[in-house]
Amino acid sequence: MSDSTLSEDSFLDDIAHRFLNECEQGETPDFEAYLREYPEHTEQLHEIFSGFAILAGTCEKKNESSVGIANSGMIIDGKYKLIEAIGAGGMGQVWLSQQIVGLKRQVAIKLIKAGMDSERVLARFESERQSLALMNHPNIATVFDAGMTEHGRPYFAMEYVKGVPITEYCDRNRLRITERLRLFAVVCEAVLHSHQKGIIHRDLKPSNILICLFDGVPVPKVIDFGLAKAMDPSQTEISIHTGHREFVGTLLYTSPEQAEFNNVVIDIRSDVYSLGVVLYELLVGTTPLEKLRLKEIAETEALRQIREVDPQRPSVRYSGSGESEGIAQQRLIAPNELKSTLQRELDWIVMCALDKDRSRRYQSASEFKEDIERFLRGEPLVARPPSNLYRLSKFVKRKRGAVASALAVIVGIVALVAWMSVDLYHRRVLEKRINISHVEYLRAADAISFSRRLNELKATEHSSFVSRLNSYQLAKPSTTEIERRRDIV
């Protein structure tokens, strides 16, 4: 089978898996969203969706026929009376209810949505119930009871949390930066408790962190453990495997490792990242990946950005915001003062929690909370800005192609300069040798010339001497002549 056929089969498998998963969760598959994500497969998508139309219609009819099973006034398990629906997620509905047996109190009843009673959804529902049952913390919603309805649908009764998302509460009440940080530190304590119980939330976001008022005091409550994961599956007796290429969480708040379609094990540092996103929003009024931007891009591109694109520091994002004055007013601070407050230490804290490399993040919700408390007390932080070497390594990792090209050019230039330097060196050595040889040649020539002149001089002097000697001998009287002269005298 060819690679192109395999690729096509893989594409069809992905589409079918997503389509059926959406249908299973009671959602209507969005054809336009698929077109935006896979523009190169427009024709295949038209064919696929026309073929799936009957299936989609079946799913919708199934849901429509099931609507009404849970309704206001209905009695659940003889103990709880449903009052009104107050929330819904991918697999469940939450109802404000009145407990009519035993304690007369308001509770929140969570039911599986009509038509959603597949084996997988039932397993997730039971996992959430068991996860919540492990908790015993004032800032986490408490589970009171669990059972089955008369129609065989599982439910559990939990503490009714009458509150608003933490970001909404802080903005509505114009809480200062320090007040927001103190509230957030309490949230970290609650998340730390769940981690100590071996539970990773995996969907921390403002709508799952509600602020309730008790005697006028704001109290955070962490809710909705529907996507929670046990670090030790034996703790909850339910083991749920996340499907291949199945994304779990909320894009705006998810961690880079949750956005990976590989075998990366999700641990508590994933929740630390999500908490970092929540703090980012509490400080500057927006998430690192902006909501408007998220609507403009396909899910695969959003996941890529979460994995690869480093977010701007809170102070930089605030400075570039067109709503800086409004954001500052909601925090009862002047715009310039808010910028200076965010710079350095708060930037360091947030960016430490949002590091793509989880080994460089806070290693627990406790470390995160402790650094926030150090900031509030004016003490030195554990978080520090990344070193220049680390920034360089991150830049190289992000721009491998450009860096490789630049390095190739630099290596070429260095090689050329080295070659020219060596060539120049050899030229200078050769010139030096030539100069030395020339000097030696001149010295030798001078020596030869001197020797010749000396010889010539010697020859001349010798010739002169011989001539004078001959003249002398010619002028000198002979012995006979001397004797003759002596006789005459």
Q: Which residues are catalytic?
A: 203
Question: Half-sphere exposure (CA, 13 Å, Cβ side) for 338?
Answer: 27
Instruction: Choose among 98, 74, 203: nearest CA to 150.
Output: 74
Those residues with Cβ within 8 angstroms of residue 314's Cβ, 6 or more apart along the chain or in another chain: 280, 283, 284, 342, 346, 347, 350
Q: How far is CA 164 from CA 168, 201, 349, 422, in A?
A: 7, 19, 25, 74
Residue 216: phi, psi to the nearest 5?
80, 0
DSSP state of 29: P
Distances (CA, A) of 25 to 62, 88, 117, 121: 12, 11, 10, 8
Q: How many CB atoms within 10 Å of residue 21?
A: 15
Sign of the CA dihedral running 135, 137, 140, 144 = positive
| Residues whose CB falls within 8 Å of the CB of residue 127, separated by 6 or more in sequence, listed in order | 228, 230, 236, 238, 240
HSE, side-chain direction, 13 A CA sphere, residue 344? 6
In DSSP notation, 298-337 reads: -HHHHHHHHHHPPPPPHHHHHHT-TTHHHHHHTTTS-HHH
Strands 209-214 and 143-148, by their bridges, are unpaired
Token pair of 57 as six digits: 């219609």
Lookup result for tokens 């508590």? 268
Q: Give dist(CA 427, CA 449) in Å, integer.
A: 32
Contacts of 69 (CB under 8 A, 6+ apart): 114, 151, 153
Closest alpha carbon to 300 in 37, 42, 2: 37
